């Protein structure tokens, strides 16, 4: 989905009122009836029709005819517009530059704020992925309407920013969150490469320990990242890691907390073994190491959304996680030669835990296209 920045400049304030009316109507109408748009926009009748036509021409709304009435629905383009307009009013995004990442569920752009600082704009796009290829299709994913995908995308962005705020405040290495509107988050641009692109690490043991320590510190604060993989760990030139991508985080009180914790740990173990030929007998265990010292989970859930919303999002991520595992990884071929290594009993010494990795999620994000494909860190 392309971000049409040009549109921002050409819409009049009446167009904006009409677009806002469609957004407001979308809260309780899948297709917003024209009379409701006219009533809500509160501008001259003739003007509304003209504005709607203009918005439809720019693909910010789309006409839909039902058996009962004709109306319009907000498109993702329209939703992007509303968010960008809010962010630009506040001066947190005044220009949009290159797209640096395309996840399955987000678009990442470099943007600039009013003072010319580089920032990252993450646009959440849940439901973009087609689940067609997956045998294990679930009706509720397929049957969702655009409006509910937008709703989930907004929840996802809201959750991400709430976690980022709390994590940053408590000294975790995460980007600074600057602003948020609807399904968009503006955050610090981290000048770094995803671990996925780091071919060589001079002291893999040091980095491994730092990452495991991060998993443990999170758990001691009541949190599990839930997608702690090589795409979501950015490594600065100095070798220091920054953690990103928080919408799927769960509390250590979650019913499946142990599973998620172990999966994060296994993900790092597997990656270091395959990529850097590094293996350690030492790795954290939920039952031993995840002793709660703080309750950041409670703090986050008290900030901005209610239980029902969190549950809806949780269900989505749980479902998606299940599906993603079935999808397999982009790099399966490249790495399959190493699979044997896993069977080599090197783990028997440290425990007989079932191996659970989130490898299947590797295809979820793609590394930035504008950067070199490999590098090494000290």
Site residues for Mg ion per CB under 5 A:
231-232, 245, 365
Q: How far is the CB of 264 from ligand ADP (least distance, A)?
A: 14
Alpha helix positions (H), the chain? 7-10, 13-26, 34-41, 45-57, 76-89, 139-142, 146-169, 204-220, 257-276, 286-289, 296-301, 307-327, 332-336, 339-343
Return the bridge partners of 226, or none.
none
In terms of CB distance, is 21 or 108 closer to ligand ADP?
A: 108
- Spatial distance between the Cα atoms of 268 and 297, rounded to a whole number of angstroms: 23
Partner in contact with 175, chosen from Mg ion, ligand ADP, none, beta carbon below 5 to 8 Å by kind: ligand ADP
In terms of CB distance, is 75 or 106 closer to ligand ADP?
A: 106
Is residue 135 a contact partner of residue 115, using CB atoms and an 8 Å limit?
A: no
Q: How far is the CB of 367 from ligand ADP (least distance, A)?
A: 6
* φ, ψ (nearest 5 deg) of residue 296: -70, -25
Q: Which strands make up the sheet holding 106-112, listed edge to edge?
A: 95-102, 106-112, 118-124, 184-188, 177-181
Q: How far is the CB of 245 from Mg ion (least distance, A)?
A: 4
Among the candidate windows 11-19, 135-143, 183-191, 251-259, which touches ligand ADP by CB under 6 A?
Answer: 183-191
**Residue 193 corresponds to which tokens in the numbers above?**
């490469």
What is the secondary structure of 349-375 as a DSSP string? Answer: GG--------GGGGGGB---TTS-S-E
Among 79, 231, 260, 276, binds ligand ADP (CB under 6 A): 231
* φ, ψ (nearest 5 deg) of residue 284: -70, 150
Partner in contact with 368, chosen from ligand ADP, Mg ion, none, beta carbon below 5 to 8 Å by kind: ligand ADP
Q: Is 364 in the site for ligand ADP (CB under 6 A)?
A: yes
The answer to whether 227 is a known catalytic residue is yes
Partner in contact with 190, chosen from Mg ion, ligand ADP, none, beta carbon below 5 to 8 Å by kind: ligand ADP
Is residue 212 a contact partner of residue 268, using CB atoms and an 8 Å limit?
A: yes
In terms of CB distance, is 231 or 261 closer to ligand ADP?
A: 231
Please tell me which residue in 227, 245, 264, 359 is annotated as part of the active site.
Answer: 227
Which residue, among 290, 275, 280, 277, has the nearest Cα to 359 in the 3D structure? Answer: 275
Among 25, 71, 77, 101, binds ligand ADP (CB under 6 A): 101
Q: How far is the CB of 231 from Mg ion (least distance, A)?
A: 5
Q: Is 103 in the site for ligand ADP (CB under 6 A)?
A: yes
Q: Using alpha carbons only, what angle is made at residue 105 by residues 99 and 107, rounded to the nearest 5 degrees?
A: 15
In terms of CB distance, is 151 or 231 closer to ligand ADP?
A: 231
In terms of CB distance, is 262 or 358 closer to ligand ADP?
A: 358
Tell me the Cα Rg of the chain: 22
3-class DSSP state of 195: helix
Among 25, 177, 194, 204, binds ligand ADP (CB under 6 A): 194
Residues contributing to the site for ligand ADP (CB under 6 A): 100-101, 103, 105-106, 108, 120, 122, 175, 187-190, 194, 231-232, 244-245, 364-365, 367-368
Q: Which residues are catalytic?
A: 227
């Amino acid at each position: 989905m392309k971000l049409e920045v040009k549109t921002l400049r050409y819409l009049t304030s009446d167009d904006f009122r009409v677009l806002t009316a469609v957004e407001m109507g979308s809260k309780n109408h899948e297709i917003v009836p024209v009379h409701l748009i006219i009533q809500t926009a509160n501008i001259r009748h003739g003007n509304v029709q003209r504005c709607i036509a203009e918005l439809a021409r720019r693909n910010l709304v789309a006409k839909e005819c039902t058996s009962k009435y004709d109306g319009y629905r907000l498109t993702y383009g329209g939703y992007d517009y509303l968010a960008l307009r809010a962010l630009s009013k506040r001066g947190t995004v005044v220009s949009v530059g290159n797209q640096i990442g395309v996840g399955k569920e987000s678009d990442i752009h470099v943007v600039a704020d009013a003072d010319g600082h580089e920032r990252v704009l993450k646009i959440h796009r849940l439901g973009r992925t087609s689940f067609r290829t997956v045998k294990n299709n679930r009706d509720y994913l397929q049957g969702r309407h655009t409006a509910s995908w937008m709703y989930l995308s907004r929840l996802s962005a809201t959750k991400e920013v709430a976690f980022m705020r709390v994590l940053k405040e408590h000294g975790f290495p995460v980007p600074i969150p600057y602003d948020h509107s609807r399904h968009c988050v503006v955050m610090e641009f981290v000048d770094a490469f995803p671990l996925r692109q780091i071919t060589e690490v001079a002291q893999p043991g040091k980095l491994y320990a730092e990452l495991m320590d991060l998993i443990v510190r999170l758990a001691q604060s009541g949190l599990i990242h839930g997608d702690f993989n090589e795409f979501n760990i950015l490594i600065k030139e100095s070798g220091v890691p920054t953690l990103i991508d928080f919408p799927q985080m769960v509390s250590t009180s979650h019913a499946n907390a142990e599973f998620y914790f172990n999966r994060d740990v296994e993900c790092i173990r597997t990656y270091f073994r395959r990529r850097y030929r590094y293996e350690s007998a030492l790795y954290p265990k939920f039952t031993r190491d995840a002793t709660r010292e703080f309750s950041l989970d409670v703090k986050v859930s008290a900030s901005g959304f209610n239980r029902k919303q969190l549950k809806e999002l949780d269900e989505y991520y749980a479902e998606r996680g299940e599906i993603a595992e079935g999808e397999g990884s982009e790099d399966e071929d490249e790495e399959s030669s190493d699979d044997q290594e896993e069977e080599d009993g090197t783990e028997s010494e440290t425990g007989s835990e079932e191996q659970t990795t989130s490898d299947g999620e590797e295809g979820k994000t793609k590394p930035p296209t504008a950067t070199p494909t490999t590098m090494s860190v000290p």
